[in-house]
């Protein structure tokens, strides 16, 4: 088998395309594979598939998979066609997508590597520039989003993720049933989610059964404006609720710690995370060591007991019984004389209806938090993102569940 037949087979070329010649250039370490269309073969307009005569030719090059240690370039004089409807258009080629500078096989390799590492590392290993590696990722995301078919997603999660300091965020919409990110938007304002909900058809909006989110009013406002019967579908995430209560407990601890230190009492020194830890995560030894603190008369112990008692709210089956439980818990918090606990109790009472919708839908943002952990890895591995669009593309690439595979014509 000669070199032309070898590359004809490797590239899987079919009529009208054939390998014309192969040029080995040892000095720069390159192989150029020249491909040409057989004379007299017809072409179709890439826009409408109508037969179109050749207008002229343009020379193009594509980076292909390396041949041993040699960088391999696929070269061709590609016909430009004169379509009666669309004017002059470049003919499709079977080895690469329109406008690409790499063959589909090379992009598949780059995408597989990008799934495992950063654009910087992939660019270094494949001999690309950072912009070329980022461009492959961006094109993959765009084709994946274009291929995504409209569907009804019954359970959504909404959350925000910071990408820079100084309170700069993106908002994410998550499919809780098939863990994937459906939409990434700038900021965490009411308008951040408008584009997503406006893109849904009536059946898709009606098909939403429940949405887990935190108690961020701009999100709630947008959902109410676009989702039918939204108040019955919004579920304030239990983990975010308990996070607010944990913050109140920590505030009580800090205030009490300062007062105790002034009196020479160091019992609360280095105990911050002990009070915030979920009891199921204690070892038997740590739980015994914590007993003296949690059974004490410290204000922090009372605040901790309120936090742990509130966990029972999500164990109820009936809304009426849950409301009775919360009413008792609320009274306990208001009589505690612990201002941080009273403040959080008032906030929970104001949002109680959409906390208790959990008992109907039984969803949380645990899936979203899992994806957030992956997003945190993306941000860390890239040492942060200064460009919001690049950050959004990376989220779609790694968490969007998209069909990223490049295909030729």
Pair (280, 368) in one structural domain: no
Q: Provide the β-strand partners of residue 24.
A: 31
| Greatest Cα-to-Cα distance within the chain, rounded to the nearest angstrom | 97
Pair (246, 291) in one structural domain: yes
Pair (351, 374) in one structural domain: no
Pair (26, 77) in one structural domain: yes
Higher pLDDT residue, 168 or 57? Answer: 57
Pair (190, 254) in one structural domain: no
Q: Once rounded to an integer, what is the mean pLDDT over residues 182-201?
A: 93
In three-state secondary structure terms, 173 is: strand
Pair (21, 108) in one structural domain: no
Please indicate, yes or no, if residue 404 is contained in any of the structural domains: no
* Contact indicator for 114, 136 with CB cutoff of 8 Å: yes
Q: Which two tokens stand for residue 211?
A: 């949405």
Please indicate, yes or no, if residue 405 is contained in any of the structural domains: no
Pair (252, 220) in one structural domain: no
Q: Which domain holds residue 128?
A: 104-147
- Residue 28: what pLDDT? 87
Q: Once rounded to an integer, what is the mean pLDDT over residues 174-198?
A: 94
Mean predicted lDDT score pLDDT of the chain: 92
Pair (324, 261) in one structural domain: yes
Query: Which residues, at least 6 apart from 291, have a Cβ–Cβ distance to it below 8 Å?
Result: none
The total number of structural domains that make up the chain:
4
Please indicate, yes or no, if residue 409 is contained in any of the structural domains: no
* Contact indicator for 365, 242 with CB cutoff of 8 Å: no
CA neighbours closer than 13 Å in the CB half-sphere of residue 289: 9
Domain boundary among 81, 116, 147: 147
Higher pLDDT residue, 270 or 8? Answer: 270
* Contact indicator for 213, 159 with CB cutoff of 8 Å: yes
Please indicate, yes or no, if residue 28 is contained in any of the structural domains: yes
Pair (64, 114) in one structural domain: no
Q: Which two tokens stand for residue 110?
A: 């780059």
- Residue 401: what pLDDT? 95
| Model pLDDT for residues 213-268, shown as the tens digit of each residue | 999 999 999 999 999 999 999 999 999 999 999 999 999 999 999 999 999 999 99
Pair (213, 127) in one structural domain: no
Higher pLDDT residue, 12 or 108? Answer: 108
Judged against a pLDDT cut of 70, whether residue 352 lies above it is answered with yes
Please indicate, yes or no, if residue 72 is contained in any of the structural domains: yes
Please indicate, yes or no, if residue 191 is contained in any of the structural domains: yes
Please indicate, yes or no, if residue 143 is contained in any of the structural domains: yes
409: confidence class by pLDDT, cuts 50, 70, 90: very low
Please give the backbone phi and psi of residue 246, each rounded to the nearest 5 degrees, phi first.
-65, -35
Please indicate, yes or no, if residue 302 is contained in any of the structural domains: yes
| Model pLDDT for residues 39-86, shown as the tens digit of each residue | 777 888 988 989 998 888 899 999 999 988 899 999 999 989 999 899
CATH of the domain at 233: 3.30.420.10
Pair (271, 307) in one structural domain: yes
Pair (290, 335) in one structural domain: yes
């Amino acid at each position: 088998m000669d070199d032309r037949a070898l590359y004809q087979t490797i590239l899987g070329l079919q009529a009208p395309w054939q390998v014309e010649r192969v040029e080995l250039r040892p000095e720069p370490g390159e192989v150029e594979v020249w491909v040409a269309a057989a004379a007299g073969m017809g072409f179709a307009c890439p826009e409408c598939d109508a037969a179109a005569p050749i207008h002229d030719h343009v020379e193009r090059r594509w980076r292909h998979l390396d041949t041993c240690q040699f960088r391999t370039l696929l070269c061709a004089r590609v016909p430009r066609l004169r379509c009666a409807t669309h004017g002059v258009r470049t003919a499709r080629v079977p080895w690469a997508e329109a406008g690409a500078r790499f063959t589909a096989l090379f992009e598949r390799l780059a995408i597989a590597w990008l799934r495992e590492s950063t654009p910087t590392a992939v660019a270094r290993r494949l001999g690309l520039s950072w912009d070329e590696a980022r461009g492959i990722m961006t094109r993959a995301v765009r084709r994946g989003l274009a291929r995504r078919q409209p569907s009804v997603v019954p359970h959504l999660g909404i959350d925000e993720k910071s990408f820079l300091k100084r309170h700069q965020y993106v908002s994410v919409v998550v499919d809780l049933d098939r863990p994937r990110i459906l939409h990434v938007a700038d900021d965490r304002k009411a308008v951040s989610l408008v584009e997503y909900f406006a893109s849904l058809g009536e059946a898709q909006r009606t098909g939403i059964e429940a949405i887990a989110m935190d108690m961020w009013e701009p999100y709630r406002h947008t959902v109410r404006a676009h989702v039918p019967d939204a108040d019955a579908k919004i579920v304030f995430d239990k983990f975010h609720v308990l996070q607010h209560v944990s913050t109140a407990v920590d505030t009580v601890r800090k205030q009490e710690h300062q007062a105790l230190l002034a009196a020479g009492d160091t019992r609360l020194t280095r105990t911050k995370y002990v009070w915030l830890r979920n009891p199921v995560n204690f070892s038997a030894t740590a739980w015994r060591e914590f007993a003296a603190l949690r059974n004490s008369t410290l204000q922090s112990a009372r605040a901790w007991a309120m936090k742990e008692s509130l966990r029972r709210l999500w164990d109820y089956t009936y809304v009426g019984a849950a409301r009775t439980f919360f009413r008792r818990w609320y009274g306990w918090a208001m009589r505690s004389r612990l201002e941080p606990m009273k403040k959080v109790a008032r906030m929970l009472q104001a949002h109680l209806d959409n906390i208790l919708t959990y008992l109907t839908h039984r969803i949380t943002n645990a899936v979203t938090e899992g994806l957030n952990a992956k997003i945190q890895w993306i941000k860390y591995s890239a040492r942060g993102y200064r460009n919001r669009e690049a950050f959004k593309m990376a989220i779609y690439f790694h968490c969007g569940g998209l069909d990223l595979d490049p295909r030729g014509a």
